[in-house]
């Protein structure tokens, strides 16, 4: 039996998952790492801590599975996207903390670049927002002493987390990224699949800083000696949301998935040609296998599971995230409370980095149960906003939504989601879709499978949620939600 090891490097934890070639989970290990919030709207990670936690859980997973490194056919890497690391090529030491995708410090840079907004959208499929890596790179080059000069001399390397892990795994021998991660930087031309010199010039980023762009499924190199007592091929790299799309078997145009993690990310496969959105969706590379590239429309909700964590850690109204369902179902509705969890601004389809969180409709009768239910509804409302815009762009209605991520354990959230979207929501038995997608792509790279068609049997249904709420009630809720969102917008400026 051959096995595949997935590095699932997320926003709040590093995970390692071992699969067999039937797609069955053999072992999982996970370790949280420190979240740094220097100021309001700023989010940082220690890239060295990311590496150390990711490496340690990989070793633990092998031990837990009673496997040797030589039993692993390939490693697949899937990662939090847009998070930006710049390091010294000689020492492999980061020159500053990693700037996380949630960070909003580059809002002013984005405002300065507004005259080029259409150019960026046409070439990259993205909107000008602090979410993406390009403006984070520029901020580092401008604000870390000596960084710009060192970058121009070719002494520094940039990478999203996939590139950073690959660099560490190969002991600095390989500096590369895949097209899915590259498409999240504001620097990749999604039509040519190469770094765009015009955009690099606008952002004042030297090309020598950037990694080589490769496909999502190929052997990038092998692990350096001493790490695992075997030189394991590294067979895939792919952004976490694209990996979940692949793991959900959304191989055909028009299929869609939603991943509920720290944020909520909806992707629709649009086939082999990008669709440029008219509704503020992102047009992104889904994956590239061989010479065939698939694209996707994406909508990003910055805060989803993080809102539940806030109830737990910030307000203390639950002790464990798993308690939210019981609390929320203890009341029949929210009592008119609407919660807009725009802690770090609003993502798609609003794209307002200056929006801030708001709770509206409070009364003397409001309880923590109402707030818990309003939190679950907020996640579902945000996802519904994205799906509606995505369907308008694609000119078609999806017939089902496949879901994954930690928050899908909430039956109440999934039912609310089906009701608001008026679309069946399908939750699979295997919840490790992000890691599974990366492992599948790694398996393809080393010849375990010949094509994605051989992978469809890996997906099995756990539960199907059918819309049941009266349409009139749903429309009223959506109307009130839209009003609440408008109240949260542009808040930072008005203070």
**Exposed e or buried b per residue across 324-333, where buried means at least 16 C-beta atoms within 10 angstroms of its C-beta:** bbebbeebee
Q: How many CA atoms lie within 13 A of 492 on its CB side?
A: 17
Which pLDDT tens digit goes with each residue over 108-158?
999 999 999 999 999 999 989 898 999 999 999 999 999 999 999 999 999
Q: Quick one: tokens of 324?
A: 């939210």
Domains for the chain: give ranges and CATH numbers: 3-241 (3.30.420.40)
**For residues 315 and 327, what is the distance between their CA atoms, to the nearest angstrom?**
14
Q: What is the mean pLDDT of the chain?
A: 93
What integer is the mean pLDDT of 168-174? 96
Helix axes 433-445, 240-247, angle to 10 degrees: 80
Q: What is the DSSP letter of 466?
A: P
CB 192 within 8 A of CB 285: no
Q: pLDDT at residue 495 above 50?
A: no
What integer is the mean pLDDT of 148-172? 97
pLDDT of residue 72: 95
Across 68-77, 240-249, 486-495, least confident range: 486-495
Across 1-10, 263-272, 343-352, least confident range: 343-352
- Residue indicated by tokens 């002013």: 108
CB 6 within 8 A of CB 428: no
Residue 279 — pLDDT band, cuts 50, 70, 90? Answer: confident
Helix axes 471-488, 368-394, angle to 10 degrees: 100
Q: Quick one: tokens of 198?
A: 């015009």
What integer is the mean pLDDT of 333-362? 91
Alpha helix positions (H), 144-239: 147-152, 161-169, 179-182, 197-203
Beta strands in 33-145 (DSSP E): 44-45, 72-79, 85-88, 98-99
Q: pLDDT at residue 230 above 60?
A: yes
Top pLDDT among 492 and 165 is at: 165
Q: pLDDT at residue 459 above 90?
A: no
- 86: helix, strand or coil: strand
What integer is the mean pLDDT of 458-481? 93
pLDDT of residue 353: 80
Q: pLDDT at residue 493 above 70?
A: no
How many CB atoms lie under 10 A from the CB of residue 365? 9
CB 161 within 8 A of CB 185: no
Helix axes 411-421, 471-488, angle to 10 degrees: 100
Alpha helix positions (H), 359-428: 368-394, 411-421
What integer is the mean pLDDT of 202-221? 97
pLDDT of residue 348: 79
CB 336 within 8 A of CB 94: no
CB 401 within 8 A of CB 421: yes
Which residues have C-beta within 8 Å of that of residue 189, sequence separation ≥ 6? 123, 124, 195, 196, 199
């Amino acid at each position: 039996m051959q096995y595949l090891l997935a590095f699932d490097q997320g926003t709040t934890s590093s995970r390692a998952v071992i699969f067999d070639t039937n797609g069955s989970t053999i072992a999982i290990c996970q370790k949280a790492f420190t979240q740094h919030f220097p100021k309001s709207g700023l989010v940082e990670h220690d890239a060295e801590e990311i590496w150390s936690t990711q490496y340690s859980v990989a070793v633990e997973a092998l031990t837990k599975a009673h496997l040797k490194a030589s039993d692993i056919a390939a490693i697949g890497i899937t990662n939090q996207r847009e998070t930006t690391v710049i390091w010294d090529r000689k020492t492999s030491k980061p020159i500053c903390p990693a700037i996380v995708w949630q960070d909003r410090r580059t809002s002013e840079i984005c405002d300065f670049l507004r005259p080029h907004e259409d150019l960026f959208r046409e070439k990259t499929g993205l909107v000008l927002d602090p979410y993406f890596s390009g403006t984070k790179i520029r901020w580092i080059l401008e604000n870390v002493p000596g960084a710009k000069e060192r970058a121009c001399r070719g002494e520094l390397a940039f990478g999203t987390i996939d590139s950073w892990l690959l660099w560490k795994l190969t002991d600095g021998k390989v500096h590369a990224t895949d097209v899915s991660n590259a498409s999240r930087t504001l620097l990749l031309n999604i039509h040519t699949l190469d770094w765009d010199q015009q955009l690099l010039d606008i952002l004042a980023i030297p090309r020598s800083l950037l990694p080589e762009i490769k496909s999502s499924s190929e052997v990038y190199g092998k692990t350096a000696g001493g790490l695992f007592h075997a030189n394991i091929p590294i067979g895939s790299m792919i952004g976490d949301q694209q990996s979940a799309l692949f793991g959900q078997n959304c191989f055909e145009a028009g299929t869609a998935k939603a991943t509920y993690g720290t944020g909520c990310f909806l992707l629709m496969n649009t086939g082999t040609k990008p669709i440029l959105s008219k509704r503020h969706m992102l047009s992104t590379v889904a994956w590239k296998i061989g010479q065939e590239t698939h694209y996707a429309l994406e909508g990003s909700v910055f805060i989803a599971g993080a809102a539940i964590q806030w109830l737990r850690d910030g307000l203390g109204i639950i002790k464990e995230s798993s308690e939210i369902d019981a609390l929320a179902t203890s009341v029949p509705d929210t009592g008119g409370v609407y919660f807009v969890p725009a802690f770090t601004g609003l993502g798609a389809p609003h794209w307002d980095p200056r929006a801030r969180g708001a709770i509206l409709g409070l009364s003397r009768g409001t309880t923590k149960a109402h707030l818990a239910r309003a939190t679950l509804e907020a996640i579902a409302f945000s996802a519904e906003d994205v799906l509606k815009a995505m369907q308008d762009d694609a000119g078609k209605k999806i017939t089902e939504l496949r879901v994954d991520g930690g928050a899908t354990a909430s039956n109440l959230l999934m039912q609310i989601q089906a009701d608001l979207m008026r679309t069946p929501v399908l939750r699979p038995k295997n919840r490790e879709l992000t890691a599974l997608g990366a492992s599948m792509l790694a398996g393809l790279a080393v010849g375990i499978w010949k094509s994605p068609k051989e992978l469809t049997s890996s997906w099995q249904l756990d539960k199907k949620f059918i819309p049941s709420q009266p349409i009139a009630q749903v429309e009223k809720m959506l109307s009130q939600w839209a009003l609440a969102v408008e109240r949260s917008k542009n808040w930072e400026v008005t203070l």
